[in-house]
Amino acid sequence: VVDALVERGVGHLFGVPGHGAYPIYGALNHEPRLKPIVGRNEQGIGFVADGWSWATNKVSVATCVPQAGLTNSATPILQATLDGERVLYVLEEEPGHRDVLRSTAKYYARVNRPEEIRTKLHSIIDQLEDGRPAGAAIEFPTSVLVNAAPNSGPKPGRVGPRMPTDAQLEEAAALLSKAANPVIVAGRPVVAGDGEQALLELAEKLRAPVHCHYNAKGAFPDNHRLALGFTWSATSAGEKLLEDADVVLAIGPREGVATGRRSPEQLASQLIHLDWDDDEQQGQPARLAIAGHVGLCLRRLADLVKPRTTDAVSDGHLAELRDHPWRYADTRIPWATGFFRSLGSELPRDIMLFCDSMVGIWAFRMLEATMGRSFRFGWGNGSGTLGYATPGAIGAKMAEPAREAVIITGDGAMLYNPQELATMMMYGTKLTVIVCNDNSFGAVRDNLGENFGGAIAHGLANPDFMALADAFGMRAVKCEDPNSIGKTLLRALDQSSSTLIEVPLELRPYRG
């Protein structure tokens, strides 16, 4: 198993060791090229693996002990599947796992004999690299893990990425070239498929505005004149543009802003949908559905389309749409706009900003990202889990040590995976953590309060965050004035060690 992983260039094995995983960890004694990265809880280390994959676009490999180790890993596997990260679990087989994996992992393989080890491991990694990025698992019966494997099987031939037919790509390019007012909706596959440059060229040739959604903030630079910014919601200010568009090219999930409130008839005449495969396209209307390697398809489309000579939407209107979240914030959270302005003014361009809680929702709408792998928000996508930001940032920082990793989180989400601050310490990973503290599950308070008859079950008794930081060897800073967060952040970025900044800040859900 270890030989096959090293053969694929895998350099880290994320996990918590124990029974069932001992044979794999034992083999690491003889293979210094595969290093164990040990976490403190399977959910935490699974998110570390996810963050590493997010930062590198490569397959992360994790392991866990059977049963409780796997159920603790279920959320990271689901998160990887729904958010489109490449995370592969290698683990000892146990019959009860099958149901957990069926509902969380997209790819699954069981190795029955030693002669299948190499072949099946290569195949599942091929699927993750060439197909839809997702959570995956490969199981080995104990006998396969502990007995000699004199022959672990041949290396399979690489099938290569799936591509649509030339005719489909030409039809899509012709529709886009002829469109009077096309709009592009860019999802995560643009980034996971290394398609950002092709998307930029495509949008510029078509002079088509671009919305980013689902984990794709920055896939199209927020400061570009054609940018519509980031949104999840079909009811946002940009929805009218999508309703009026004669062609919408949607890349990634066929939901949210990609389909909005448009009727099936309109989608059937308007939508060109591009995704890794047609698994998410069943039974939904589209004028044209294209399945294949998203980055390669975008490259072909960018080359094939004919440049348009006029703008469908004026620069002024696009700038107004980009500014909408700020105008909305002025009415919804006027006390907090200074915080976001101050934060935005000091964020380095190549920041890795890991968000959680309501602060993440606002940061995604309001702050500017100019590159694809710079903003990450676990709660805002896929499984909707809290507690991704801290471990996710650890993994990303391990992968990209030269870039700064900053976490912004609510107090509630901060305590979902604080144990991984020990992983941060152990591997000398520098983080800057900003905890926006309102001593409350704020989203619960406001959603129950605004929509369900009253705020209940939201108040929290928090630890002393300064003492918590101290316990994990971090600098502890209180930033009493949210409007000065930028300066406080700059001082933290100047340090070589990790800092936790606590700032009093209460937010409200974004409903604009």
Instruction: Tell me which residues touch ligand TPP (CB under 6 A).
Output: 357-359, 379, 384-386, 410-413, 438, 440-444, 507
Pair 218, 353: CB distance under 8 Å: no
Decide whether 49 or 74 has the Cβ nearer to ligand TPP.
74
Decide whether 275 or 506 has the Cβ nearer to ligand TPP.
506
- Closest distance between ligand TPP and the C-beta of residue 141, in Å? 32
- Closest distance between ligand TPP and the C-beta of residue 440, in Å? 6
Decide whether 92 or 411 has the Cβ nearer to ligand TPP.
411
Decide whether 411 or 420 has the Cβ nearer to ligand TPP.
411
- Closest distance between ligand TPP and the C-beta of residue 504, in Å? 12
- The tokens describing 48, both together, are 């570390």
- The tokens describing 468, both together, are 């918590």
Sheet of 288-291: strand order equals 227-230, 210-212, 183-186, 248-251, 271-275, 288-291
Which of 493, 232, 487 has the alpha carbon at shortest distance from 350?
493
Instruction: Say how many CA atoms lie within 13 Å of 110 toward its Cβ.
Output: 11
Decide whether 24 or 436 has the Cβ nearer to ligand TPP.
436
Distance CA 101, CA 119 (A): 21
Instruction: Give me the amino acid identity at 9.
Output: G
- Closest distance between ligand TPP and the C-beta of residue 511, in Å? 14
Angle formed by the axes of helices 337-346 and 485-494, to 10°? Answer: 30
- Closest distance between ligand TPP and the C-beta of residue 293, in Å? 32
- Closest distance between ligand TPP and the C-beta of residue 416, in Å? 7
Pair 267, 259: CB distance under 8 Å: yes
- Closest distance between ligand TPP and the C-beta of residue 59, in Å? 25
Contacts of 137 (CB under 8 A, 6+ apart): 77, 88, 89, 90, 91, 97, 101, 105, 107, 108, 109
Q: What is the CA radius of gyration of the chain?
A: 23
Decide whether 116 or 356 has the Cβ nearer to ligand TPP.
356
DSSP helix/strand/coil, 120: helix
Distance CA 196, CA 184 (A): 13
Decide whether 39 or 412 has the Cβ nearer to ligand TPP.
412
- Closest distance between ligand TPP and the C-beta of residue 222, in Å? 22
Decide whether 17 or 412 has the Cβ nearer to ligand TPP.
412
